[in-house]
Amino acid sequence: MATLAETLQALDDIPGTTIFTAARVRKGFQLNHCCMSLMNPANRDRFRADERAYLQEWKLPVAQQDAVIARDYNALIAEGGNIYFLVKLANTDGISVMQAVSTMTGLAVDDYAAMMNGGGRSPEGQRSKSANAAVAGA
């Protein structure tokens, strides 16, 4: 039987998938609370007026601040951001969830919508990073 550490390591082997583990919860705690604060109109106004200053009030690490300012949703998730909280950032920018998520795939919004309407990403090559590396090295 696999240990918890082995199970969590195996979850990190799934391409394009970030499992929101306890370690990621701890890493992104302030980031997620900061994003939730954007539900308040006064906070949104302060954020829009000076994003860096607002993020510094939350004492976010520079990597998280830079990811927010760049609107790099992949980096935000890697930094412990939870998509349900990160949506508040997208909403602050006046963009839809689909627009925000399409940036994570490298696809234009229309291409992303077409892919999802067509059944989503093919599972081919999406099962295991280590298996993909072994095939590439063969």
Percentage of the residues of the chain whose pLDDT score is greater than 70: 97
pLDDT of residue 125: 65
pLDDT in tens, 101-138: 999 888 999 999 998 999 887 777 666 777 777 777 76
pLDDT for residue 103: 92
Give pTM, 2 decimals.
0.83
Cα(85)–Cα(103) distance, integer angstroms? 17
Q: Residue 23 — very low, low, confident or very high, per pLDDT cuts 50/70/90? A: confident
Backbone angles phi, psi at 107, to 5 degrees: -105, 150
CA 101 to chain centre: 9
Domains of the chain: 19-93 (1.10.700.10)
| Higher-scoring residue by pLDDT: 27, 22 | 27
Tokens of 136: 């590439």
Within its chain, how far is the Cα of 30 from the centroid?
Answer: 15
Whole-angstrom Cα distance, residue 16 to residue 7?
Answer: 17
